[in-house]
């Protein structure tokens, strides 16, 4: 292995983590990292600061994709949710600290869609990767003052979205709540399930028009409880379920006939505020590959 190849291999998880946070798509993030490798292969031996060079290349490749991605999402069938990833996989990039888990949460990645591409880039580089404004300015080819202004606007836009503040910063606290939530839904226990839900709970279900899923958010304790029992209740939950860490927090994955068929996550502090259900098979492909490589996953079919 050449020195340039070794350097890129070492940087690859960080680059994927950057691209994924920028795009909300594991598939697109992989494509960006591959494009970066092709550029690195022709210049790597002459670069003085590989980390900075690769960060700049990946960020700018992501900026080029964001406008077209936003246009595609405007015609997306039903709610759009980010592609889920297994954050215990080292190849998926940094997710060891509370801040790193928050920066990859489904709630935040969904909300980042509200930002302009430059705002998103500054926010991700600053908040998730700790770059200084001088470093961000060099990546985006703006002034430091411009970087600070973009960062301020991004934080202001995110602060205006209540769902971001409900994300638990302690994933271990979500696990028991998730277990009770799934058990009540599978048993058809409407009253027990309602006791776990916030009054203004919302379900977002992403099928992308490819599989059955609610095409509008389901809101309110009673409507959400009935909806969840309708899809998870006795005789309706097919396949096996396993609890894993998805995007920095506990989640349940469902397998049908040995194939990954869905991911369910919850958010909230004490009561379930938001439920996200991902069923679009195209969005499950990357996670399915991670799970197939993961050893010791309880409940995963062999």
> Which tens digit of pLDDT belongs to each residue from 71-92?
788 889 999 999 999 998 888 8
> Which tens digit of pLDDT belongs to each residue from 260-299?
999 999 998 889 999 999 999 999 999 999 998 875 444 4
The Cα 262–Cα 252 span in angstroms is 8
The Cα 98–Cα 167 span in angstroms is 11
> Which tens digit of pLDDT belongs to each residue from 15-56?
999 999 999 999 999 999 999 999 999 887 788 899 999 999
- The DSSP code sequence of 66-128 is HHHHHHHHHT-SS---PPP-BTT-GGG----SHHHHHHT-HHHHHHGGGS-HHHHHHHIIIII
Query: Do residues 276 and 108 make contact, with C-beta atoms less than 8 angstroms apart?
Result: no
> Which tens digit of pLDDT belongs to each residue from 179-229?
999 999 999 999 999 999 999 999 999 999 999 899 999 999 999 999 999
Q: What is the pTM of this model?
A: 0.90
pLDDT, residue 165, reads 43
The neighbouring-strand residues paired with 265 are: 251, 276
* Domains of the chain, each with CATH number or no CATH: 3-165 (1.20.140.160), 171-293 (3.10.450.50)
Q: Based on C-alpha coordinates, what's the Rg of the chain?
A: 20
Q: What is the dihedral of CA 130, 136, 138, 144, to 10 degrees?
A: -120
In whole angstroms, how far apart are CA 19 and each of 35, 62, 104, 132, 265? 11, 6, 11, 18, 22
Name every residue whose Cβ is closer than 8 Å to that of residue 195 and which is 6 or more positions away in sequence.
none
> How far does the chain reach from its first CA to its final CA, in angstroms?
34
Name every residue whose Cβ is closer than 8 Å to that of residue 9 and which is 6 or more positions away in sequence.
1
């Amino acid at each position: 292995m050449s020195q340039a190849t070794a350097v890129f291999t070492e940087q690859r998880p960080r680059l994927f983590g950057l691209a994924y946070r920028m795009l909300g798509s594991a598939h697109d993030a992989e494509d960006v990292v591959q494009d970066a490798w092709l550029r690195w292969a022709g210049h790597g031996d002459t670069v003085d600061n590989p980390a900075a060079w690769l960060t700049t290349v990946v960020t700018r490749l992501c900026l080029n994709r964001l406008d077209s991605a936003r246009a595609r999402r405007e015609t997306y069938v039903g709610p759009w949710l980010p592609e889920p990833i297994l954050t215990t996989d080292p190849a998926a990039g940094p997710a060891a600290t509370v801040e790193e888990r928050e920066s990859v949460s489904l709630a935040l990645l969904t909300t980042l869609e509200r930002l302009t591409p430059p705002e998103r880039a500054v926010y991700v580089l600053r908040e998730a990767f700790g770059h200084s404004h001088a470093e961000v300015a060099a990546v985006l080819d703006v002034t430091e003052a411009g970087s600070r202004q973009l960062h301020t606007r991004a934080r202001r836009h995110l602060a205006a979205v209540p769902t971001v503040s409900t994300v638990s910063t302690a994933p271990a606290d979500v696990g028991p709540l998730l277990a009770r939530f799934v058990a009540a839904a599978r048993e058809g226990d409407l009253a027990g399930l309602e006791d776990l839900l916030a009054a203004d709970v919302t379900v977002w279900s992403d099928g992308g028009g490819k599989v059955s899923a609610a095409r509008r958010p389901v809101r309110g304790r009673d409507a959400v409880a009935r909806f969840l029992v309708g899809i998870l209740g006795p005789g309706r939950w097919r396949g096996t379920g396993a609890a894993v860490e998805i995007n920095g927090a506990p989640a349940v994955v469902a397998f049908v006939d040995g194939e990954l068929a869905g991911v369910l996550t919850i958010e909230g502090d004490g009561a379930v505020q938001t439920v996200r259900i991902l069923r679009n098979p195209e969005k499950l492909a990357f996670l399915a590959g991670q799970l197939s490589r993961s050893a010791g996953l309880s409940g995963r079919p062999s």
